[in-house]
Amino acid sequence: MKLAAYAVLLTMMVATGPAQAVELVWHPEVLDKLEYAAAAEIDVSGLLGELNTEEWQTNQSAYLAAIDRLKQLPLPDMYLHHRAHFKALDNGKAIRVQLVGVPVTFNEEPKDEHEMDMRDRIDAFTNAIMLQGDMDLSGNSADLTFYRLSSERNIMTQFFYLPNGEISVGDHWQLPVQYIELGPGIFVQSSSRHNQVTLAELKQTPAGTVAVLHYLVSEQVDGYLERVANTDKGRPPFGLKMACFGYGEFLVEKGHWLRQVLILSYDGKGQASGLHKQHLFALQLKQ
């Protein structure tokens, strides 16, 4: 399904009439008064099954079905075991963010080994700072902490990047992230990248206008390890695919997230065949 058809499909999901244009603008001055439950790099491998991000790039009905499955996913405390703390900076033009692990009390025994392992990791994260950084929210949500690891800056960008100017349902933009970084010992024979965030819907709720964003970012490389130059020997295959998909619900008039739920997946083959993970990143406003 082409992009134009996708825009038509999304437009049918909202009320008919002239296209409504909105600006998604942060209100940093209110963020430090809000409380968010959060998840940062929580392993949820297998929870959603295989993520067919390559198919979703051309089969939008399958992509929307995957988004719907994610929206129906319950996010209990065993996943949202961080709290997001915000502090306005520079007269409200920027925000400082900390994601901190908090104690979680469970009233029932773990159901299986996976849940037991999850609880052990939650205990280890208690009171630990899992993510920290500063974001300039006055323009295009630029990351001010250039000195952080690129993986941490990617997370900050996932949580806070919004497009500039007015947008309407069906409009899309890129998320300024780079997930795959390789050293010189890996020779890449083919690579591909898809990066698109879409304004999927504008809906009216008791809390105001909610802008629903859909995320689909995929990076893939295939090649081999080249340990010694100028030789055909010892070139084991290597492949890596990383993808980010999910949705966000932004309160337009209030200038902050109602919720955002993203899955970052890692899939390797060849020398990276042991890498198969799905990590949850989420913000959920506590009412």
Query: pLDDT per residue over 257-274, tens digit each?
Result: 999 999 999 999 888 888
Q: Check whether 75 has a pLDDT greater than 90.
A: no
Read off the tokens for 33.
């008064």
Q: How large is the angle between the packed helices 60-71 and 3-11, nearest 10 degrees?
A: 40
Residue type (1 letter), 202: L
Q: What pLDDT does 123 receive? A: 67
Name the band, by pLDDT with cuts 50, 70 and 90, for residue 101. confident
Q: What pLDDT does 11 receive? A: 41
Q: Check whether 5 has a pLDDT greater than 50.
A: no
Question: What is the chain's mean pLDDT, rounded?
Answer: 83
Higher pLDDT, 271 or 247: 247
DSSP for the chain, written as a single string: --HHHHHHHHHTTS-SSSPPEEE----HHHHTT--EEEEEEEE-TTSS----HHHHTT-HHHHHHHHHHHHT----TTT--EEEEEEEEGGGTEEEEEEEE-----SS--SSHHHHHHHHHHHHHBT-EEEEEEEE-SSS-EE--TTS-HHHHHHHHHHH---SSEEETT-EE----------TTEEEEEEEEEEEEEEEEEEEETTEEEEEEEEEEEEEEEEEE--STT-SSS--EEEEEEEEEEEEEEETTTTEEEEEEEEEEEEEEETTTT-EEEEEEEEEE--
Q: What pLDDT does 2 receive? A: 42
pTM to 2 decimal places? 0.83
Q: Check whether 122 has a pLDDT greater than 70.
A: no
Name the band, by pLDDT with cuts 50, 70 and 90, for residue 10. very low
Name the band, by pLDDT with cuts 50, 70 and 90, for residue 9. very low
Looking at 6-20, 47-61, 73-87, 200-214, which range is the least confident one? 6-20
Q: Is residue 122 packed enough to be buried (19+ CB in 10 Å), middle (13-18) or exposed (0-12)?
A: buried
Q: What pLDDT does 251 receive? A: 96
Q: What pLDDT does 27 receive? A: 87
Q: What pLDDT does 261 receive? A: 94
Q: What pLDDT does 87 receive? A: 84
Count the domains in the chain.
1
Q: Check whether 1 has a pLDDT greater than 50.
A: no
Domain range enclosing 252: 3-285
Name the band, by pLDDT with cuts 50, 70 and 90, for residue 233. low
Condensed to tens digits (0 to 9), the pLDDT of residues 23-74 reads 998 888 888 888 888 887 778 877 777 788 888 998 989 999 999 988 887 7
Q: What pLDDT does 234 receive? A: 67
Closest CA to 171 of 130, 214, 118: 214
